[in-house]
């Protein structure tokens, strides 16, 4: 039976599309009425932000800009970043009320916070997310949802079982051109889709770096957290963590939650995954960045549909997402626009009796509406997990240099214990999911 509380949005919005700019639900959040039933001083959703790097500051700005939120806390293990974020919030509100935390556990422990905005590096997604959901927080979290595949599963389960609202930073789903492209595919404008191409950025390497003591403003041990402890270098941490498999997953894992996610949306694969994955990647042998610089892997789904994921330009795969029909027609979409062959596809309209995908009023906005209405978001954790799983499986297949077979129902690798083990990574003490 379906999990109670789960929402079949697709079904609902087939007959009740809600457009951009639609009005907002305003069911009072916990802080509005006060836990325990007391009357609250305001109707604002109270927000705490963890991870104040570039994405964190962007998300902070988005939530400061909402009329019904109040950001009360920021957190980072880099004292400078934490200070800057606090100053940003205080400047916005014209006071000094924002609390700056070094340890995310203190922020999560605050009972007045409804929503946690999680913009930490990949290796710091799972632990705080699960902790926050267990504590009753709703979460806006960056993609990829989990640093390794089973972590994403744990996070999606935590969302569902705790009845929490989760929005992933896969914000392309909230843009009209992506939605239209997906609606065209969903409504068979290409006929049977036989091939999908997902073009993502290529990675880069680095030469030998200098290992040294971390700067005094950075708590490096905390920054490393559940991942393997490796010696500090300036090129290890801020921004560059993404190019190291211990902390990120390369450009591939960064972007699979965008263009791969859109591919899934169009194909209605939000609750499933490939059956086989096979590919190759170039992994640098020098320097501390070890994520694949170039890559190409193929995922085979039920019905024989192939999804080719590659760095853009690799074997002709164009950046963005392209669905190709059996008759050679295609639809391509990227942040730069939408294209199709034949061009007449772009003049198609989607009728009321066809599949209409959810029209988000804006990614951050949509999350807040769902926090109030308790309905699932456009990119809940399960969806994000399935999108990210494609990248994780591709990574494993490339690292092992062989085809792996996957059961998307049980989420187990079939007949390959080595690959199966690589679905999860042990965590450094004292951290656990």
Partner 1 sequence: MRSIRSSVWALVLLTCIAGQQTLAQSDPYDALRSFDNQNRVASEAIRAQIVAAGRDAAALARVEARLAAVLADPATTLAGKQEACRLLWPIGTERSVPALARLLAADETADMARYALERNTTPAAARALRVAAAGATGRRLVGIINTIGERRDAAAVPLLRGLVRSRFPEVHDAAVAALGKIGTPAAVAVLRSRPIANPEVAQAMLQAAERLAAAGDRRGALAVLRQLVGPPHAVTTRGAALHRLAGLEGPAAVGAALAAARSGDAYLAPVAARIAGSLAGPAATRACVQVLPALPEAVRTVMLLALADRREPAALPYALQAIRSESEALRLAGIRTAAAIGGARAVPALAEVAGGTRQPDRGVAREALAGMGGRPVEDAIIAAGRTGTPEVRAAMMAVLAERPSPAATGALVQASGGEPASVAAEATRSLGRVGGSAQLPGLFRLLVGGSSEQVREAAQSAFIAAAQRLGERDSAVGQATAAMAAAPADTKTALISVMAELGGDAALRELEAATRSGDEDVKHAAVVALADTWADARPMGTLLGIAREDPSRSLRVQALRGYLRLLAQADRSAAEEKVGKVREALAAAVRPEEKRQALGILRECRTESSIELAASLMDDPALLEEAASTVLYLAAPQRVENRELVAVRGPRATAALDRVIEKATDNNQRELARRLR
To partner 1, the closest distance from the beta carbon of 305 in angstroms equals: 27
- The stretch among 26-34, 81-89, 189-197, 250-258 that binds partner 1 (CB under 8 A) is 26-34
Q: Does residue 8 bind partner 1 (CB under 8 A)?
A: yes
Q: Does residue 351 bind partner 1 (CB under 8 A)?
A: yes
How many amino acids of this chain bind partner 1 (CB under 8 A)? 87
To partner 1, the closest distance from the beta carbon of 214 in angstroms equals: 15
Complex with partner 1: residue 11 or 106, whichever CB lies closer? 11
Pick from 91, 188, 230, 414 the residue near partner 1 by CB under 8 A: 230
To partner 1, the closest distance from the beta carbon of 74 in angstroms equals: 23
Q: Does residue 405 bind partner 1 (CB under 8 A)?
A: no
Site residues for partner 1, 262-301, by CB under 8 A, read 283-288, 290
Site residues for partner 1, 123-152, by CB under 8 A, read 134-136
To partner 1, the closest distance from the beta carbon of 396 in angstroms equals: 9
Do the bridges between strand 115-118 and strand 99-101 make them parallel or antiparallel, or are there none, so unpaired?
A: unpaired
Site residues for partner 1, 374-393, by CB under 8 A, read 374-375
Site residues for partner 1, 177-216, by CB under 8 A, read 208-209, 211
**How many CB atoms lie under 10 A from the CB of residue 426?**
10
Complex with partner 1: residue 13 or 79, whichever CB lies closer? 13
Q: By three-state DSSP, how is residue 103 classified?
A: coil
Q: Does residue 28 bind partner 1 (CB under 8 A)?
A: yes
Burial class (CB in 10 A: 0-12, 13-18, 19+), 133: buried
CA distance 36 to 39: 9
Q: Is residue 432 reached through a cis peptide bond, with omega within 30 degrees of 0 on the bond before it?
A: no
- The stretch among 89-97, 160-168, 247-255, 294-302 that binds partner 1 (CB under 8 A) is 160-168
Complex with partner 1: residue 194 or 400, whichever CB lies closer? 400
**Chain centroid, CA 230 distance in Å:** 26
**Length, in residues, of the chain:** 433
- The stretch among 60-68, 174-182, 310-318, 366-374 that binds partner 1 (CB under 8 A) is 366-374
Q: Does residue 400 bind partner 1 (CB under 8 A)?
A: yes
CA distance 277 to 403: 6
Q: Does residue 26 bind partner 1 (CB under 8 A)?
A: yes
Pick from 96, 176, 229, 335 the residue near partner 1 by CB under 8 A: 229
Ramachandran class of 48: left when φ > 0, alpha when ψ lies in -120 to 50, beta otherwise: beta
Q: Does residue 401 bind partner 1 (CB under 8 A)?
A: yes
Site residues for partner 1, 74-133, by CB under 8 A, read none
- The stretch among 65-73, 156-164, 333-341, 383-391 that binds partner 1 (CB under 8 A) is 156-164
DSSP secondary structure string for all residues of 335-350: TTEEEEESGGGGG---
Instruction: Give ∠ CA 22-24-27 in degrees, rounded to 5.
Output: 160
Distances (CA, A) of 280 to 240, 323, 407: 23, 22, 21
Q: Does residue 336 bind partner 1 (CB under 8 A)?
A: no
To partner 1, the closest distance from the beta carbon of 92 in angstroms equals: 26
To partner 1, the closest distance from the beta carbon of 320 in angstroms equals: 23
Q: Does residue 410 bind partner 1 (CB under 8 A)?
A: no
Q: Does residue 155 bind partner 1 (CB under 8 A)?
A: no
Distances (CA, A) of 398 to 299, 321, 394, 419: 12, 21, 6, 11
Q: Which of 386, 400, 384, 396 lies closest to 423, judged by CA?
A: 396
Q: Does residue 407 bind partner 1 (CB under 8 A)?
A: no
Given strand 412-414, what is the order of strands in its sheet?
337-341, 330-334, 320-325, 193-200, 306-311, 294-300, 276-282, 404-407, 412-414
Complex with partner 1: residue 103 or 326, whichever CB lies closer? 103
Distances (CA, A) of 63 to 87, 333, 401: 15, 28, 43
Distances (CA, A) of 247 to 11, 59, 319: 38, 21, 25
Q: Does residue 238 bind partner 1 (CB under 8 A)?
A: no
To partner 1, the closest distance from the beta carbon of 41 in angstroms equals: 13
Complex with partner 1: residue 30 or 98, whichever CB lies closer? 30
**How many CB atoms lie under 10 A from the CB of residue 417?**
8
Site residues for partner 1, 31-50, by CB under 8 A, read 32-37, 40
Do the bridges between strand 320-325 and strand 193-200 make them parallel or antiparallel, or are there none, so unpaired?
A: antiparallel
To partner 1, the closest distance from the beta carbon of 205 in angstroms equals: 11
Q: Does residue 338 bind partner 1 (CB under 8 A)?
A: no
């Amino acid at each position: 039976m379906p999990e109670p509380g789960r929402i079949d949005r697709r079904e609902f919005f087939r007959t009740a599309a809600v457009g951009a700019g639609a009005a907002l639900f305003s069911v009072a959040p916990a802080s509005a009425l006060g836990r325990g039933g007391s009357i609250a001083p305001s109707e604002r959703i109270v927000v705490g932000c963890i991870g104040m790097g570039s994405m964190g500051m962007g998300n902070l700005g988005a939530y400061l800009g909402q009329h019904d939120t109040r950001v009360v806390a920021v957190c980072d293990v880099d004292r400078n970043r934490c200070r800057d974020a606090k100053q940003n919030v205080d400047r916005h509100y014209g006071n000094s009320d924002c609390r700056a935390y070094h340890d995310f556990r203190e922020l999560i422990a605050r009972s007045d916070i409804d929503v946690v905005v999680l913009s930490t590096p990949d290796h710091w997604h799972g632990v705080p997310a699960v902790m926050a959901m267990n504590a009753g927080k709703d979460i806006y979290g960056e993609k990829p949802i989990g640093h390794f595949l089973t972590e994403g599963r744990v996070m999606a389960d935590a969302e569902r079982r705790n009845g929490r609202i989760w929005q992933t930073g896969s914000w392309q789903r909230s843009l009209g051109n992506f939605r239209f492209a997906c609606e065209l595919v969903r409504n068979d404008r290409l006929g049977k889709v036989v091939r999908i191409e997902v073009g993502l950025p290529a990675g880069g390497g680095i030469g030998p770096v200098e290992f040294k003591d971390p700067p005094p403003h950075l708590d490096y041990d905390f920054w490393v957290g559940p991942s393997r402890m490796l010696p500090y270098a300036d090129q290890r941490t801020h921004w560059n963590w993404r190019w190291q498999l211990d902390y990120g997953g390369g450009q591939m894992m960064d972007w699979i939650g965008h263009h791969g996610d859109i591919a899934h949306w169009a194909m209605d694969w939000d609750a499933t995954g490939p059956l086989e994955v096979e590919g190759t990647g170039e992994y640098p042998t020098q320097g501390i960045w070890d994520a694949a610089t170039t890559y190409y892997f193929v995922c085979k789904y039920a019905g024989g549909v192939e999804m080719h994921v590659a760095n853009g330009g690799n074997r002709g795969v164009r950046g963005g997402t392209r669905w190709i029909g059996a008759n050679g027609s295609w639809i391509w979409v990227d942040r730069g626009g939408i294209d199709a062959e034949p061009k007449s596809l772009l003049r198609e309209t989607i009728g009321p009796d066809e599949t209409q995908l959810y029209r988000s009023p804006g990614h951050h906005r949509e999350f807040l509406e769902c926090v109030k209405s308790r309905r699932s978001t456009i990119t809940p954790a399960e969806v994000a997990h399935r999108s990210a799983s494609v990248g994780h499986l591709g990574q494993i297949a490339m690292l092992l240099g062989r085809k792996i077979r996957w059961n998307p129902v049980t989420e187990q690798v079939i007949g390959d214990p080595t690959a199966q083990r690589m679905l999860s990574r042990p965590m450094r003490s004292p951290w656990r999911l």
